[in-house]
Amino acid sequence: MRDPDRPRDKTKLSHVSESQYVDNQHSDDTPKEACGVFGIYAPGQPVAHLTYLGLYALQHRGQESAGMAVGDGDSLTVVKEMGLVSNVFDDRTLSTLSGDLAIGHTRYSTTGSSTWRNAQPVYRGIDHVEFALGHNGNLVNTETLTVESGMLPGTVTSDTDLMAELLMSALLERPEIGSSEAFEAALREVLPRLSGAFSLVLADRTQIIGVRDPNGFRPLCLGRLDGGWVLASETPALDVIGAHVVREIEPGEVVIIDRNGCRSLHPFDTVDVDPRLCLFEFVYFARPDSNLYGQSVHHARVRMGEMLADQAPVDADLVMGVPESGIPAAEGYARRSAIDFGHGLVKNRYIGRTFIAPTQALRSTAVRMKLNPLRDSIDGQRLVVVDDSIVRGTTTRSMVRMLRDAGAKEVHLRISSPPYRWPCFYGMDTGAKAELLAANLTVDEIREYLDVDTLSYLTLDHLLKATGAVGAGFCTACLTGEYPVSIPQILTEQSRKMQAIDQSVTLGLEQTQSGLSAAEATRLFNRT
């Protein structure tokens, strides 16, 4: 099958330095989602085509690779490739994948490199025993599990690969191997050993299984389709195939779906079950047409903007959002402040994922490729610019310069979440702490660095209220430093090492892109 991304794999381009790479997914100034998962049990239905549609609806959660595993009662067939869902599957491929059940996956790598081997679903098979696994999230105890299991270095290449290996080992020890009872027993044995974030879909020849970790960091919902059941990271994946939402899978719940219907297990210790859905699903990651904790994500984002307007009003002529995710909050801000809402930036939706820029000047145009100002709307205007978050600040800084070049008289930046100060270890790629602008600068220094007239962030209290999910549990670790699942020292040390490397990279880029002197940049980025 065609592999559009592989020839551009960084590992195969040794003559290209890291800094020459302009990767529009990775260099983007927003946190990155880890993955989307989908599962369907629907005998008699075109499960591969339905999985394709479901994955298409989850494409925003990962664009590096896509795959599916289809079971027909006698065998399990896995197809996975690097690239977008539409690159990986075509009519011919899908028409060869007939069966009663399927699971699917779209991937953005946060552990394990972006290679074909790490594309998912991960497959394990010995004789008549086989299964496939798709994972959204990140384990934080992979090191311990690897050592405890006595695995040789290189046996597994990602936390998902490790889970599959542990499950296969547990299955092989069961006398009733090959039965659904054996699979259930293996899950009961392995799942409580995992620590961190994991929303999983699994399939063998006759059943699909959904798993949500005891904190429910990543979403997973259950839907009903004529004669079948569906699992998906987000509700729009159910909408597109005509399924209706039954409910969210509970934190710590395992759902097994087979010809007997749908049943639940609760293999985790009840004291560990503590709902902590990632708050950034509401802020940025999830699609606006998703429902989380029974709340509309779009309406939550509009409320964030309304609360920002109450919290940080300003005299201005126009409120605009940074496309796409800043727009609902901008609408809310405009409505509450009675300032005109308009569009000031156009986003190119068709930009490719990666290209190699041979010069600094070309690399600097990367932001311009994504966002272009609408000069007629901006010229001479006092702007309120609403965005969902600032992670590294590089894109925001370039965007502000674009707006000023287009004639903006004032730029007042409003962010619909609190300062992002701590790295995520639960499946979001935000980089090391040194890369996080708010970890190193005060709000006033950030304002100065971004060159905006005023800057305000939504408070955590307001953000939690804006979700509408009163009393629901959230992870807020990247905003508060309070990690619901403790992070092993080895991970924080790795992050610190990355910090040293990233800091030098950041400094190098900032000196050329922003025009700051080396001394200024060092002062700004060294304030820890």
Q: Give the contact letters, 418-457, x = binds to ligand SF4 (CB under 6 A), - = no.
A: ------x-x-x-----------------------------
* Measured distance CA(435)–CA(70) in Å, rounded: 41
Ranges of beta strands (E only) in 315-453 are 318-321, 340-341, 345-347, 354-356, 371-373, 382-387, 410-415
Angle between helix 394-405 and 489-513 (nearest 10): 20
Tokens 């508060």 belong to 480
**CA distances (Å), origin 292, targets 197, 199, 221, 465:** 17, 15, 9, 14
DSSP-assigned states of every residue in 434-491: GG-HHHHS-HHHHHHHHT-SEEEE--HHHHHHHT--TT--EE-HHHH---SSPPPHHH
Between residues 22 and 424, which has the closer beta carbon with respect to ligand SF4?
424
Q: Give the contact letters, 367-406, x = binds to ligand SF4 (CB under 6 A), - = no.
A: ----------------------------------------
Distance in Å, CB of 484 to ligand SF4, minimum: 8
Cβ neighbourhood burial of 465 (10 Å; 0-12, 13-18, 19+) = middle
H helix or E strand, kind and range, residue 336? helix 327-337
The alpha carbon of residue 185 and the mean position of all alpha carbons in its chain are separated, in whole angstroms, by 31
Distance in Å, CB of 248 to ligand SF4, minimum: 16
292 touches ligand SF4 by CB under 6 A = no
Stretch that binds ligand SF4, among 70-78, 168-176, 325-333, 475-483 (CB under 6 A): 475-483
Catalytic one of 35, 424, 475, 478: 35
Distance in Å, CB of 379 to ligand SF4, minimum: 37
Tokens 């940025």 belong to 284
Between residues 384 and 478, which has the closer beta carbon with respect to ligand SF4?
478
Distance in Å, CB of 478 to ligand SF4, minimum: 3
477 touches ligand SF4 by CB under 6 A = yes
> What is the total count of residues that contact ligand SF4 (CB under 6 A)?
12
* Measured distance CA(326)–CA(320) in Å, rounded: 8
140 touches ligand SF4 by CB under 6 A = no
Distance in Å, CB of 278 to ligand SF4, minimum: 3
Distance in Å, CB of 137 to ligand SF4, minimum: 9
Q: Is 203 helix (H, G, I), strand (E, B) or coil?
A: strand
Stretch that binds ligand SF4, among 141-149, 278-286, 333-341, 349-357 (CB under 6 A): 278-286
333 touches ligand SF4 by CB under 6 A = no
DSSP-assigned states of every residue in 504-519: HHHHHHHHHHT---HH
* Measured distance CA(422)–CA(478) in Å, rounded: 4
Stretch that binds ligand SF4, among 52-60, 80-88, 142-150, 474-482 (CB under 6 A): 474-482
Binders of ligand SF4 in range 194-223 (CB under 6 A): 217
Q: Which of 22, 249, 278, 316 binds ligand SF4 (CB under 6 A)?
A: 278
Q: Catalytic site residue 35?
A: yes
Paired with 413 in beta bridges are 385, 455
Contact positions vs ligand SF4 (CB under 6 A): 31, 217, 278-280, 424, 426, 428, 475-478
**Catalytic residue positions, numbered:** 35
